[in-house]
Structure 1
Amino acid sequence: MALFLLCPNLGWIQGQFNFTEDSLRYHECLSRIEEIERQVRAFNAQFVERLLQDSEHRVDRIIQEAGSLLAQIKARDTYLTYVMLSEYEETVSEQLQICDQILTWSDIFPDAFVRKAEAARLRVMEIQRYIREFNDHFVERRLREYDYLFRKAPFPLDHNQRCAVIIDDKHNLIVAGAGSGKTEVLITRIAYLLDRKPDTIHPDRILALAYQNKAASEMRYRLYERFGAEVKIKTFHALGKEIVEKAYLDANRAVPRLQFSGDNPEHGYRWFIATLYVKGLESEDFQRLVTRYMEYYDDAEVLQNEVDFEERKDFYEYMRGLTYTALNGVVVKSEAERSILNFLLTHAINGEEISVEYETPAEWMQYVNENGGISIPKPDFYLPQYQLYIEHWAVDENGRVPDWFEGEDPSAAYQKGMTLKKERFASQDEYGLVETCHWELRNTPVEEVLSKKLLQALHDRNPGTSFEITPLPYPNIYDKVWKECRDSIDSLRGQIADFITIAKTYNLTPDEIEQRLQDEPWSSRQLAFARVALKIYKDYEQYLRSNDFIDFSDMINLAVRALHDNDGLYRDTFDHILVDEYQDISAQRYKLIKVLMDKNPACKLFCVGDDWQSIMGFAGSNVDYFVRFSDYFAHPQRTDLTVNYRSCASIVKTGAAIICHNGDVQLKKETVAFDQSETVAVWVIAVREQNAYRYYRQVAHHCVDYIESLLNDGYLPGEIMVLSRILNRPLLRDEILRYARSKGVPISTETQKFNSVPFMSVHRSKGLQARVVIILSVDEGLYGFPCELQNPDIYDPAVNGRRKDREEEERRLFYVAVTRGKETVVLYTQESSMSKFIKEISEHVQMVKLRP
């Protein structure tokens, strides 16, 4: 656009030149200036004319384009996605900027045109407002038009549920609560896509994904029974199988055989891993790997270093607080002491197991201390068979002790005690002494140091006698292991199966995990477990490859690879992908969804789930994909399902109180109960008995008697549910079933058995409900809540990125257990070891103390 010129200033020119009015030059200059003024006015007149013409053209174009844009939106009559809204918003914003620029010249334009430009600007603003409000009006209109769909469920869908069905952005996340009808929303969404006009979706263009065959079958049944509709509804594994078969057949290659199929492939897989584990135990090398894991079973997850603390004193306090548990359950003061004790427990002298006592008072060493009292030293280890003591001195080459020892001069005090003990040993001949030092074990294995010193002491005390130290057979070592560790070893084969599943979920091969073990920092327990699991993982992979087999996890990985490698495979196949239980999504499943979405840029995603119920970490799920959904799928539209139609208000509030302790790990959302009954619905039965067997017996009898009373009051067996964090607990499980049989109360661990009260694990209960839910052993400890038997930190080497949500997932599992209840939830706990989860919800429960 040309510049608008200003006229010359005659007074200014006269001031620059001291011309008189009658001077010749003055008249010449004045004439020239007048000529320039005429030219400028002519130029400006032309400029204004051209500017007006251009502005009129632009205003006309804005009016035309705005009207065309409005007509386009109305003609499409479909939900505006984030991308579409952004494009429209950008268009109208540019139009408004043009209008504003034109109106800056309003003082030189004719009034009629200014009014036209102002009207155009107002029209664009109206269209902008129309666009911004379009989705809200669209949803409200569609809610009215498709009301008949929302009334086909057993209970008509509420407003949030209906909005979730209608809202149709590129990426849609439906954040559901327990009992909020998320599956109903999903199948109604499918029916809506098939029925809506004019943006109808063909059934072949819709893909729905579920996690289990049972869930997929239920979705198919409901969709057909309610709406007479059929679309492709598959499990992730079934879809992976379909993709792999098509990819191989298209390439004229033999389709890989699936190793575990049938109705329960998971059972077949776990059984096979168990057989590999049992076979592995025939090898002494593998036995040593398992024994090493036993030795580190009770260790902290990852030991901290001094750099992890702001102040040195805090690090010293941390080091003083560490404890180390030996194979027999004895807690010792240092890692070196544990290594010594474990060596003695796992070896024999001349074929005889070594009897060892830890810190047994040696009365023969008593002395009068500085205060005039009697002190009785406690040497580290005593071998009564050989009258030998073993003392491990925590000193370096210079006789100094670690800085975290207490006292102003810990080295001097420690040296004094060492000297005193050595003098007492030197003053008698009945007992021998074997000494080891901290500095000796820094770079030399304890087996090497202790074997040499122990054999020398035995020879010195028994001249002419030959001694040999040999490892004990694995069964002998297993029998010595403390109960909780032994129980964990009994479940090791299942944990190895989980480890392999997780590794394949993250597409990590055994070699890649091996490299991670070398390159990254791990705790002793993590390393020990990974060595055991890797041995079985390698054997398993070797078996699959040598027999041209693949398993279910391979299917998904192969499917993702095939889709990446073959651009035409499933190109432009699906317009809508719907995923149930999205909170349990794993890395490989996310990749499968993502690559399918990329095959059709117009494809839309609809994910339904409840991050508060994300409990499948042991199978490789990662709640991060749900909580940080927008990091993986840009600009999603979130809709919350807030009403719990299953549980009464008391249970709903208790559930929310459970999850709030997970902090930022979970999404913030409102949960309200359809049933607003405020009566106490969550009861805690606190048992005072501390003896484990009697505690279980008392719980079993009280639980069965309570169930009997419910049945006598008219409850049906299927309206009651008994849950346990770990179902495989013989003491409690068998006592409940035995006592129930003796009283004729129908309780069964066989979930398919009808007319019986189901007794199952909490994991199995997900998706189920009952009027009364009974939850056993909400205690601290190995089998409690949170459960210490299944510790997910051992799976970290198989995970891309460390998982730090052990307690959070256990708390989500507790939430799942509690929210199965419709009317009443009963929690059994041992008063002396009550779970922290119960303490966290103390304001929402009624405590009943059960005496022996």
Structure 2
Amino acid sequence: MSQKAVRIGGDDVSGTSGLPSWGPARTTGPDAWFLASTPDGFVLTTSAGVMNFTGRDCSRLSVSRWWFGRSLLVNGPVAGRYRGVKSQDVAAIRSAIAGRLQSVELGPVLDRARAFRSDFNRLLEQHRMQGRWIPYDRVAAVLRLRPTDDELALLRGSMREALLTPEEREALDLLGRDWTAIVRSVNAQILSAELASRRDFFDRIEKSPLTEEQARAVVTFDNRVRVVAAAGSGKTSVMVARAAYAVARGFVAPERILMLAFNTDAAAELRARVAARLEAVGLPTAGIQASTFHSFGLALIGRATGRKPSVASWVGRQSTEIDKVLAIVDELRDSSPEFRYKWDTFRLLYGRMSETPETGDHDSYDRDTRQNGFRTYRGETVRSEGERLIADWLFLNGVEYRYEQPYAHDVADADHSQYRPDFYYPQIDVWHEHWALRADGTPPEAFTGYADSMQWKRSVHQRFGTTLLETAWHEIVTFKGFAALDAELRTRGVELDWNPERPRPTSGAQPIEHERLARTIRTFMSNVKANSLTRDDLAARLAERPSPRTRIFLELYWEIHDRWEQELRAAGAIDFDDMLVQAADLLERSPDLSAYDLVLIDEFQDTSHSRARLVRALCQGPEKYLLAVGDDWQAINRFAGADITAMTRFEQMFGPAETVRLQTTFRNPQTIADIAGRFVSRNPAQIDKRVVSARRAASHPEDGPPVTIIRVETRDGLQRAIDGYLTDLATRAAQSSIDVLGRYRHEEKLVPRHGFPGLDVTFRTVHAAKGLEADYVILPNLTKGIYGFPSKIEDDPVLGLAMPGDDGFPHAEERRLFYVALTRARRAVTIFTVVGQESPFVVELLDDPDVVVQGITPNATRVRVCPGCGQGTLVLRRGPYGEFLGCSRYPACTHKAKLDRGTDSGRLRAASPRMP
């Protein structure tokens, strides 16, 4: 710290002669002395000679009272006392000594503060001059020079402002300011200047000029950039322009640029677009790599190990992977009776089971008993899922039973109706009660009076000497409970014949198909591998959320998993999940394997844990830049291991980042964008955005309403209705493309096989349509059920054990899938559904003011959302007392409404004035 004059009461001790000095009134004779301040410390001149005090040696000097005056004391090897310190100099000398000592103690802190100020200002000025965005890592490198917070607190607490130079004051002032705001301000200036000065580049790099928000995403050249891109907003243009901008500005050499896509077609499009567009503006393209994650990972492993791995022949398509799981299951069932029994029991009994005795939606109604409940394989309606488990187990074992047969003795009284035990076995004259009890012996809290009822029923059997078998929920949800029941029945002479293929009546419930369970197994496996989960990991998760059903599933899963791994080893191959994990492992251990400085990722919302690891490892080290483009509203691949949090919690995973939004869609009319946006935004856990169409006005007035719901009376009428719609469309919109988007492949049968002149009609699944578009979109079967939309197949709770955590919003992934379907259309979307069987998603759209409802018949045109649940529609029903309106979700919802003959015209009330 440089020395300067010390002010005392506003007076300069040294006058105008430079640094301050002090001495007694008499400055000659043997007692004369003179203390002078120097840039490094002090010089004391006495009759005995000259003494220099620098650094910590300044602490030897002090001023103290001596008799009737004050003296300058020198401690240490050459001690002395020098009388005659003027009273007006005491404070100045002490302050100067303290200042010198502060310079010794806090000098390094001030040095770092000055260095930080210098480097920080230099960084800002360099980037202003270069017109280059200031990236976070460069700012962080400068910030590492700053004094610590503790040092700054000490500095500000002990350093007198008067002792600081102007440079030091400026440095401390900068340390106290919001440096992030300073950097943001300068970056805003750079961004504005770049957008103006390079407008010609942004106009020419793609066939259509980049919008301002696209150009902003290109210029924002930070180390980590998340681009939240709405459907149809031109995200590929941003990726291509980003690569071109990096090359044109000399930020990154072409061979140091890597572009990663999720499928072969997308990677091929990136390669073609980069080559064409960079060549169009005279930039080199040689060396820029555009690849799928899988191709890149395989090449990296080959380069790192000297041996490129082979991918198993059955891997890569969901259909062949599921076929492989089914083949493994068949082998295990043939070789292991125990596995066969577990597989069949889970598929036939536990596959449809809820986690607790009080949960689960009713799916059946018995008209004779007017009872809501659960349908069994025999076709009857039972009251609880526990009773259904037992009834189905008895049926599959060929055991004769009667459900809720009246007890053999009349026990009705003032407090009890006639007793009807759950099951009766006529062959052995034995009754059976199933209790909804948890492992601690208690019933659910909502079951008021349940314990008293149990006691009364037991007392009835005791009084009349009848035999009662008892089971409890917590026992039958494991194999243990059924093993005990099996033993009881056999002991009493009942012959059990387990037959998973036992013919069921047409009215009976349908089991989970082998293929559906195999799909669940493969989905679970993808997530286990993508998240690098071990047996111990899953066991720990299960311990946190105990579930007997999931425990049984895990037992099945690990046997299939182990056989899958054996098959891979036998083929000398790996699957893609293994490959991604291996590639990430290699990069984490050896960052030098990454030969890229700019990494651009497409469809980032579909990134799995293993892909995220790979990307993070690619971007280790200084001067690495990541641009991740995606849309959490289109995250639809959780079943394949995708983790939406890679998009929604980007900074937590990849570090401090800039977020840029692309909210202009070039595909959808504004009305479709609004309807789709309102629908998907009902889930509050997603990134907020407001999508604006570049086509404000309707380009094709003849299209009619942008989103239309057409209701038909029966499922059999869907194909006829679609045929009629396409026939009409061919007369008014020739030379148009139409994508019929089904939730499942089997819905292709709803597309008429004959052609329609002038129309290019293509069927795709919604998943396959991701990234594509057409003039018109048809959704052919928006109904409820297992194979409805939303699908119930993808929602098996066991998947939650291995999948990334979801946000808890009902049907969150299916909701996003429906959003994808809506936003494929350039002109209009038409949704077909069945009266009384509407998808919950259709019911939601009925409340949207921009959605139009039509019907093949006048009755189908009139619709009313159920006020009881809000998820179904009111449909005409007939009961003992005539016609009434009931919820289409009955028996899950039991809401009823009187038929208003005046406004309903004997049928249904029109939903709103918006409908024709």
TM-score of Structure 1 vs Structure 2, range by shorter chain: 0.7 to 0.9
In structure 1, the residue matched to 2:29 is: none
Relative to structure 1, the CA distance from residue 470 to residue 213 in structure 2 (aligned partners, 3 Å threshold; closer, same or farther) is same
- Say yes or no: does 1:148 pair with 2:166: no
Residue number in structure 1 paired with 2:489: 454
Amino acid at match of 1:237: H
Structure 2 unaligned blocks of 5 or more: 10-66, 72-81, 280-284, 360-370, 699-703, 861-916
Per the alignment, residue 722 of structure 1 pairs with 740
Q: Which residue of 2 aligns with 1:822?
A: 826
The residue matched to 1:209 in structure 2 has which SS?
strand
> In the alignment, residue 847 of structure 1 is paired with which amino acid?
V
Aligned AA for 1:826?
T
1:526 and 2:550 aligned: yes
1:698-726 per-residue CA deviation (whole Å, 9 max, x = no partner) reads 11110121012112223335x21111222
- For residues 146 and 411 of structure 2, the distance between their equivalents in structure 1, rounded to whole angstroms, comes to 95
Distance (whole Å) between structure 2 residues aligned to residue 795 and residue 781 of structure 1: 19
Q: What residue in structure 2 maps to residue 757 of structure 1?
A: 761
The correspondence for 1:240, drawn from 267, 277, 297, is 297
Q: What is the identity, as a one-letter code, of the residue corresponding to 1:437?
A: E
Supply the distance in 2 between the matched residues of 1:585 and 1:238 (Cα, whole angstroms): 16
1:234 match: secondary structure: strand
Q: For 2:841 and 2:516, how far apart are their aligned partners in 1?
A: 24
Give the partner amino acid of 1:502.
N
CA shift at 1:755, angstroms? Answer: 6.9
Alignment of 1:221 with 2:272, yes or no, is yes
1:548 aligns with 2:598: no
In structure 2, which of residues 707, 718, 723 is the aligned counterpart of residue 704 of structure 1? 723
Pair 117,258 (structure 1): closer, same or farther in 2 beyond 3 Å:
closer
Instruction: Report the Cα distance in structure 1 between the residues aligned to 2:329 and 2:497, rounded to whole angstroms.
Output: 25
1:37 aligned residue (81, 86, 97): 86
2:563 & 2:722 partners in 1: Cα distance?
45
SS in 1 for 2:497: strand
Q: Does the 8 Å CA contact 2:70/2:87 hold for their aligned counterparts? A: no
Q: Structure 2 counterpart of 1:244, which letter?
A: I
Structure with more of its chain in helix, by fraction: 1
| Structure 1 residue 673 corresponds to structure 2 residue 693 | yes
Provide the rounded CA distance (Å) in 2 between the counterparts of 1:176 and 1:66: 33
Q: Report the CA distance between 1:326 and its aligned residue.
A: 4.7
What amino acid does structure 1 have at the position aligned with 2:711? Answer: A
Give per-residue Cα distances to partners, 1:194-230, cap 9 Å, x unaligned: 112xx33111101111000111001111111222235
User: What are the equivalent positions in structure 2 for 1:792-807 lying under 5 Å apart?
Assistant: 792-799=796-803, 804=808, 807=811
State whether structure 2 residue 404 is matched by structure 1 residue 359: yes
Structure ranking higher on relative contact order (CA contacts 8 Å, 6+ apart): 1
Structure 2 residue aligned with 1:602, among 596, 610, 623?
Answer: 623
With over 3 angstroms needed to count, the CA separation of the structure-2 counterparts of 1:37 and 1:170, relative to structure 1, is same
Cα shift at 1:168? 0.7
The equivalent of 1:435 in structure 2 is 468
Determine the C-alpha separation between the residues in 1 that align with 2:690 and 2:126: 38
Alignment of 1:316-335 (within 5 A): 326-328=376-378, 330=380, 332-334=382-384
Q: 1:651-706 deviations in whole A, cap 9, x for unaligned?
A: 11111111221112x0112211222237741112233x3xxxxx221111101210
Cα pair 1:172 1:607 within 8 Å, conserved: yes
Post-superposition CA distance 1:241-278 (Å, at most 9, x none): 011111221xxxx544322389x655543432332234
Secondary structure of 1:765 counterpart:
coil
Q: Per the alignment, do residues 156 and 330 of structure 1 end up closer, same or farther by CA in structure 2, a change over 3 Å counting?
A: farther
In 2: Cα distance, 1:127 partner to 1:406 partner: 59
1:580 equivalenced with 2:633 (yes/no): no
Which whole-Å CA distance do the structure 1 matches of 2:807 and 2:559 have between them? 23
1:292·1:528 contact (CA, 8 Å) conserved in 2?
no
1:381 and 2:431 matched: no
User: Matches of 2:293 and 2:654 in 1, distance apart?
Assistant: 19
For residue 853 of structure 2, the aligned residue among 830, 834, 847 is 847
SS in 1 for 2:501: helix
Distance 1:545 1:104 in 2: 73
Cα distance in 1 for partners of 2:147, 2:786 equals: 63
What displacement does 1:136 show?
A: 1.5
Q: How does 1:202-221 map to 2 (within 5 A)?
A: 202-221=253-272
**Would you say the 8 A contact 1:513–1:797 is kept in 2?**
no
Match of 2:511 in 1: 485
Distance 1:132 1:401 in 2: 60
Query: Which 5+ residue runs of structure 1 have no aligned equivalent?
Result: 8-27, 306-320, 349-353, 427-432, 459-466, 690-694, 747-753
Find the aligned partners of 1:728 and 1:273 in 2 and give their Cα distance.
Answer: 21
Distance in 2 between the 1:324 and 1:538 partners?
36
Q: Is the 8 A contact 1:66 1:124 kept in 2?
A: no
- The secondary structure found in structure 1 opposite 2:259 is strand
Q: What is the distance in 1 between the residues matched to 2:791 and 2:120?
A: 63
Match of 2:17 in 1: none
1:537 aligns with 561
TM value normalised by structure 2 = 0.71
Aligned-pair CA distance for 1:90: 8.7
Contact between 2:401 and 2:423, CA under 8 Å: does it hold in 1? yes
RMSD: 4.7
| 1:475 aligns to 2:501 (yes or no) | yes
CA-CA distance at 1:503 after TM superposition:
1.5
CA contact (8 A) 1:259 1:549 kept: yes
Displacement of 1:516: 4.6
Contact between 2:538 and 2:802, CA under 8 Å: does it hold in 1? no
| Corresponding letter in the other structure for 2:517 | L
CA shift for structure 1 position 845: 1.3
Query: Residue 311 of structure 1 corresponds to which residue in structure 2?
Result: none
Equivalent-residue separation in structure 2 for 1:60 and 1:533 (angstroms):
63
Identity %: 24
CA separation in 2, counterparts of 1:45 and 1:796?
Answer: 71
Q: 1:438 to 1:586 in 2, by over 3 A?
A: same
2:225 maps to 1:172: yes
8 Å contact from structure 1 (residues 302, 523) kept in 2 = no
What amino acid maps onto 1:435 in structure 2? L
Asked whether the equivalents of residues 601 and 629 of structure 2 are also in contact (C-alpha less than 8 Å), the reply is yes
Distance 1:725 1:521, change over 3 A: same
Whole-Å Cα distance in 2 between the matches of residues 520 and 60 of structure 1? 53
Identify the residue that residue 346 of structure 1 maps to in structure 2.
Answer: 396
Structure 1 distance, partners of 2:93, 2:266, is: 77
CA contact (8 A) 2:603 2:631 kept: yes
Map Cα deviations across residues 737-790 of structure 1 (whole Å, 9 max, x no partner): 4xx23x5448xxxxxxx9741122111111111222111332332122221122
**Distance change in 2, residues 1:816/1:361 (3 Å):** farther
Counterpart residue identity of residue 266, structure 2:
A
Q: Using the alignment, how far apart are the partners of 2:467 and 2:69 within structure 1?
A: 122
Does structure 1 residue 776 correspond to structure 2 residue 828? no
| Contact 1:770/1:822, CA 8 A, preserved across alignment | yes
Shift of 1:579: 0.5
Structure 1 residue 631 corresponds to structure 2 residue 683: no
**CA shift for structure 1 position 337:** 3.1
Length-normalised TM-score, structure 1: 0.76
Counterpart of 1:760 in 2: which secondary structure?
strand
Counterpart-to-counterpart distance in 2, 1:61 and 1:82: 19
* 1:825–1:522 Cα change, 3 Å: farther
Deviation at 1:148, TM superposition (A): 3.3
Aligned counterparts of 1:395 and 1:134: Cα–Cα separation in 2: 67
Give the counterpart letter for 2:671 in structure 1.
S
Aligned mates of 1:46, 1:334 — CA distance in 2: 87
User: What's the counterpart of residue 786 of structure 1?
Assistant: 790
Q: Residue 74 and residue 124 in structure 1: after superposition, are their counterparts in 2 closer, same or farther (change >3 A)?
A: farther
